[in-house]
Amino acid sequence: MNGAQALIRTLVGAGVDVCFANPGTSEMHFVAALDDVPEMRGVLTLFEGVATGAADGYARMAGKPAATLLHLGPGLGNGLANLHNARRGRASVVNVVGDHARSHKRLDAPLEADIDALAGAVSGWVRRSLSPADVAADAAEAVAESARRGIATLVLPADVSWEDGAEPAGPPPYWYPPVPTEYRLADVAAVLGRGEPTVLFLGGDVVASDEGLLAAGQVAAGTGARLMAETFPARMVRGAGLPDLPKLPYPPEMAMAALAGTRHLVLAGATSPVHFFGYPGVPGTPVPADCTVHVLSAPGEDGVAALRELAAMAAPAAGGQQALLEPARPELPSGELTPRTVSAVVGALLPERAVVVDEVLTSGVGLAELTSGAPRHDWLSLTGGAIGDGLPMAVGAAVACPDRPVLALQADGSAMYTIQALWTMAREQLDVTVLLYDNGSYAILQHELSRVGAAEDGKRAGELLHLGTPALDFVALATGMGVPATRATTAEELADQLRTALAAPGPHLVQAVLRG
C-alpha cells in the first residue's frame, strides 16, 4: 500500500470522510487513491480559498473535521485567509498539503516554498511525513490534534505519497474538552451573588447548543445578570423557545455603550472582547476600565457543563422562570428594497432548521431582530474578519447537513473573493440559496473611511470603494456557473423569488438590488 492510500484510509477510519480539494501534480497519488477508498468523498473546488472556507463551514456544522487537499506552498497561500477565519472560530480542519518529492527539494524548483512556515501562521499543529511508514501515524495524530488545536496541517511529499510500505493506523483516542475548575465556578457564583451589574458574555460551545443557552438563561433569570454573545460567534443556535441573546455590536461606540456600567464581565466560551481595529482617541476594548473580567470557561473547555453547574450553584430556584422568545414572524413588506425590508423578507420566510451563513456585513440592518422569533435555526458568522468566507462556508455547511436548507446572506463585494463556490454548489447539487445583497459598493469600508478620521469626500478615495463601474451582474455570473438565478428590485419580487428558491432543490441565487 502506498502512502496516499494509507493516509486516506487512516483519515476515514478516524471519521474524516470529506475532503475539499484543489489538487496539483504533487497530489495526484492522493487523487488516484480516492478510487481505492470510496468512503472518502472528494469535493472539487476551483480556488483554494473555497476549499478552506468549505472545510470551516463543514466543521462548524458537523462537529468534526473535514480535510483539505492543497497544492504546495502557493496553494496553501491561496487558502490562508479562510484558514485564518477557521482558526479564529476554533474549527477543526486537517490540511493535507502536497510538496515536492524529497529528492527534488534541493533543486529549488519554481513552486518551491517554505510550506511549514506558511502553515504555522494558521495551524496549531504542523507535521511533515518523512517516509511512507510515517504517514498513517502522522495522519492519526493530525486528526487528534485538530480536535485540541483547531487546524492541523500535514505536509505530504510526493514520493512519500507514491512509495509503498505504508499501512493505515487505527483511530486516535477521543478527546474530551476539559471542564473548568471548581475554583472558577465558586468565584463566578460569588460574583453573581453580589448583585452588582454583571454580564454573562457567551461564545464557543455555549451558544452552539440549546442546552448551553438555556443554562445561561437560567443563571441570568436567577441572578439578574445580563446575557450577551460575542460579536461573531462561529455557530449560534437561535429562534423561538430560546433566551433572547443580543450580540455585542461591532462599531466601537455601540459596543462601549452596550457594556457601559458593567462591573463584572463573566466569560463563558468567549474571550474578553476587543475592537477589530484601533481608532484615534478610542480605547482598544469596550470593557469599562472599572470592570473586572472573570473566566468561567475558556474556548476549548466544556462551557456547557460549567454553566449547568453554575445554574445549580448560583440560581437553584430559577428553573422555568427565564423569559424565552415566543414564535414570531414579521409581516412581508412591500415597496422598495432596503436593508431592513430584505431582513423582514428573510424573517418572514426563514425555513425551520435552516443553516444561515451570514456575510452580509453592513446591509444586515434588522436581521437579528426580525429573525429572533423564527423557527429554530443555526447562524454562522465571519469569525476572523477576512471577507470571502460566506459562499465557501455555505458549501461546507450543505455538505455537512444535506437534510437541512442553507441560506447564505452574502454581500456583493465579499462574494467576489470566492465566487467560484457557486460552481461547486452546482456540481454537487447542494441545497443552498444565496441571497446576494447588491449595493454596488464596499459599504463597510466607506464607514471605516470616516471612522478613522480620513478624508471623507475625496473622489479618488471614493472610487476605490465603489463597485458600480462596471456593475456586477450576479445573475449572469451564477447562471454561467450552473446556478439558477433571478434579480429582485422590490420587496414583493424578493419575497416571491426567495420563496421559490427555498422550495426548490439544489442551489439558487437571488440578487437583491439595493440602491440609495
Mean pLDDT, each 10-residue run in order, the chain (516 residues): 96 97 95 95 98 98 97 97 97 97 94 96 97 96 95 97 92 88 92 95 97 95 95 97 96 96 98 94 96 96 95 69 91 95 98 97 90 97 96 98 98 96 98 95 55 59 70 96 98 98 97 84
pLDDT the model gives residue 468: 72
Buried b (16+ CB within 10 A) or exposed e, 78-116: bbbbbbbbbbbbbbbbbbbbbbbbeeeeeeeeeeebebb
pLDDT the model gives residue 80: 98
- How distant, in Å, are the alpha carbons of 58, 391, 393, 482 from that of 397? 5, 10, 6, 19
Query: For residues 290, 295, 298 and 302, what is the CA-based torsion angle, rounded to 10 degrees?
Result: -150
Rounded to two decimals, what is the model's pTM? 0.94
CA distance 87 to 121: 10
User: Contact at 8 Å (CB) between 268 and 296?
Assistant: yes
pLDDT the model gives residue 469: 76
| CA 388 to chain CA centroid, nearest Å | 11
pLDDT the model gives residue 181: 87
CA distance 361 to 115: 32
* Pairing outcome for strands 236-238 and 377-380: antiparallel
CA distance 382 to 387: 7
| Domain ranges, ordered by start, for the chain | 3-162, 182-314, 339-513
Compute φ and ψ for 446, nearest 5 degrees: -65, -40
- Three cell numbers, residue 445: 469600508
SS3 247: strand
The CATH number that domain 182-314 falls under is: 3.40.50.1220
* Pairing outcome for strands 508-513 and 485-488: parallel
Buried b (16+ CB within 10 A) or exposed e, 172-198: beeeebebbeeebbeebbebbeeeebb
CA distance 354 to 361: 20
CA distance 357 to 359: 7
Cβ–Cβ contacts within 10 Å for residue 281, how many? 5
Q: Where are the alpha helices (DSSP H) in 79-131?
A: 80-88, 102-105, 115-120
Looking at domain 3-162, its CATH class is alpha beta
Buried b (16+ CB within 10 A) or exposed e, 135-156: bbbbbbbbbbbbbeebbbbbbb
Domain 339-513 has CATH 3.40.50.720: no
- Three cell numbers, residue 339: 436593508
- How distant, in Å, are the alpha carbons of 3, 344, 381, 415 from that of 338? 55, 10, 22, 19
pLDDT the model gives residue 360: 94
User: Contact at 8 Å (CB) between 228 and 265?
Assistant: no
Crossing angle of helices 182-192/303-314, nearest 10°? Answer: 50
